[in-house]
Amino acid sequence: DAGVTQSPTHLIKTRGQQVTLRCSPKSGHDTVSWYQQALGQGPQFIFQYYEEEERQRGNFPDRFSGHQFPNYSSELNVNALLLGDSALYLCASSMLTLAGDYNEQFFGPGTRLTVL
């Protein structure tokens, strides 16, 4: 089992550009969450996808959007990049337990985005 994988590893963009980050969940997981981790801070929740729908969303502007595919993989898109979008973007996958709870999230290594 490859675990959660993310691509690319690193990315450099300029202000105003658009970026797409990709995530493949752990085998058997049906839910993908995205987090932004700025330097020296804890990860901040962006949104969560389940059954190809956005289930929850954190306090992020509409410039941040996503998608989940039928194979449960996911993309994070950021439009009109700002300098402040520079961060490590983490993808996490999970699955519903019999209790109806998301018992644990497994994280990928992240994509380091630098906006110049």
Partner 1 sequence: AQSVTQLDSHVSVSEGTPVLLRCNYSSSYSPSLFWYVQHPNKGLQLLLKYTSAATLVKGINGFEAEFKKSETSFHLTKPSAHMSDAAEYFCVVSAGYGQNFVFGPGTRLSVLP
Does position 110 interact with partner 1 (CB under 8 A)? The reply is yes
Choice between 44 and 86, CB closer to partner 1? 44
> Residue 79: helix, strand or coil by DSSP?
coil
Task: Return the number of other C-beta atoms located less than 10 Å from residue 29's C-beta.
Answer: 18
Choice between 19 and 32, CB closer to partner 1? 32
Cα radius of gyration rounded to whole Å, the chain: 14
> Residue 45: helix, strand or coil by DSSP?
strand
Question: Which parts of 5-24 interact with partner 1 (CB under 8 A)?
Answer: none
Does position 68 interact with partner 1 (CB under 8 A)? The reply is no
Distance CA 112, CA 88 (A): 4
The residues that touch partner 1, with contacts defined as CB under 8 A, are 4, 33, 35, 40-45, 48, 50, 55-56, 58, 90, 92, 100-110
